[in-house]
Amino acid sequence: MPAYVNAADVLRAQGRDQESAATLLQGLQRVPTSATLHHALGLARIRLQQPELGLGSLRRAVELDPATARYSYVYAVALHSTGQADESIRRLQQAVKRWPYDRDMLMALTSFQLESGQRQDAQVTARRLVAAYPADPQVRVLAAQALGEQSP
Q: What is the 3-class SS of the chain, one letter each residue?
A: CHHHHHHHHHHHHCCCHHHHHHHHHHHHHHCCCCHHHHHHHHHHHHHCCCHHHHHHHHHHHHHHCCCCHHHHHHHHHHHHHCCCHHHHHHHHHHHHHHCCCCHHHHHHHHHHHHHCCCHHHHHHHHHHHHHHCCCCHHHHHHHHHHHCCCCC
Does residue 103 register a pLDDT over 70?
A: yes
Superfamily of domain 1-65: Tetratricopeptide repeat domain (1.25.40.10)
Q: pTM for the whole thing? A: 0.92
Q: Where are the domains of the chain?
A: 1-65, 68-152
Please determine whether the domains at 1-65 and 68-152 fall in the same fold group of CATH: yes
pLDDT band for position 152 (50/70/90)? low
Class of domain 68-152: mainly alpha
**pLDDT digit string (tens) for 41-77?**
999 999 999 999 999 999 999 999 999 999 999 999 9
